[in-house]
Amino acid sequence: MNAWTIFPVSVGTMKQVEKSNYTYGSNQGIKLDVCSLIYVLKGGPEPIIVDTGMSEPGWATQYHHLSSRDRSQEPSAALQKLGISCDEIRTVIFTHLHWDHCFNNAIFPKARFLVQKDEIQYALFPLPIHALYYEAPSVGKTPPWLKDIGRFEVIDGDREILPGVSIVKLPGHTPGFQGINVSTRKGNYLIGSDFCPLFENWPSMDKEPIPSAIHVNLLDYFQSFKKAATFAEFVLPGHDLKVLEQESYPAGP
């Protein structure tokens, strides 16, 4: 029995983001403050990091959203508070390569970075409407992950990483999006990241799933919702401040 525990770590706040970006165009005009997250998985033979979060706030504000990062949200310091020593981390999983999920890679000098093959290809040559999300060469930028590509481990499909932690390909938001299925003592959690940027994207008894307005393929997206429903008992979102109301998932020691 592998009982992992998941810790959401905020590494920045994006201010007054248009909610309809996250909810397929509904909720227009509603503005939300949202968090940029690193997820930490503990309880196995080694800790695992999921995503490395957004850039420093000056860069983020200039090119993306008005953003802030207080001292407690500095990535290394925030992880240290959980007892994580960044230079000992050996495994980082990228859910996808949008700028706000892969910016702080230098703090993990010994890590390998697990990414889907389709994601790398699209991140380098995206459609124009997605290019800034990737900080792609076509908009005159250098993708924030590119200098670490020598440490990338390319995945093509689903894969168990350690007992109780599996990568599950869930395309739709991006072509090579992957969620992480984590076995805990309370059941299976899916780290949904931008597949479910808010808790409300995930379906409930009387509510259909809601895709993000930012996507490459809606048919894939809905297939991914079906696939995720076969194993996920709980879903952790990519940007919802409510996830920080609990220190760990499941809660408690």
For position 239 contacting Zn ion by CB under 5 A, the verdict is: no
Stretch of 20-28, 30-38, 85-93, 95-103 contacting Zn ion, by CB under 5 A:
95-103
Q: How near is the Cβ of 183 to Zn ion at its closest, in Å?
A: 25
CA distance 189 to 116: 20
CB of 103 to Zn ion, least distance (A): 12
Q: How far is the CB of 109 from Zn ion (least distance, A)?
A: 25
Give the whole-angstrom CA distance, residue 175 versus residue 166.
18
Residue 194 binds to Zn ion (criterion: CB under 5 A)? yes
Minimum gap (Å) between residue 68 Cβ and Zn ion? 20
The DSSP line for 161-192 is EETTEEEEE--SSSTT-EEEEEEETTEEEEEE
Kindly state the smallest distance separating residue 102's Cβ from Zn ion, in Å.
10
Q: How far is the CB of 96 from Zn ion (least distance, A)?
A: 6
With 0-12 / 13-18 / 19 or more C-beta atoms within 10 angstroms meaning exposed / middle / buried, residue 114 is buried
- What is the rounded distance in angstroms from the CA atom of residue 149 to the CA atom of residue 108? 13
- Judged by CB under 5 A, which stretch of 27-35, 49-57, 178-186, 190-198 contacts Zn ion? 190-198
**Contact 116/176 with Cβ under 8 angstroms?**
yes
135 binds Zn ion (CB under 5 A): no
DSSP H or E run through 49: strand 48-50
Nearer to Zn ion, 47 or 175 (CB): 175
- If the CB atoms of residues 75 and 176 are measured against Zn ion, the closer one turns out to be 176
Number of residues in contact with Zn ion under rule CB under 5 A: 2
**Is 118 among the residues that bind Zn ion (CB under 5 A)?**
no
Residue 98 touches Zn ion, criterion: CB under 5 A:
yes
The Cα 232–Cα 190 span in angstroms is 6
| Residue with smaller CB distance to Zn ion, 98 or 169 | 98
Distance CA 161, CA 165 (A): 6
Binding mask 138-167 vs Zn ion (x if CB under 5 A, - otherwise)?
A: ------------------------------
Could you list the residues that contact Zn ion (CB under 5 A)?
98, 194
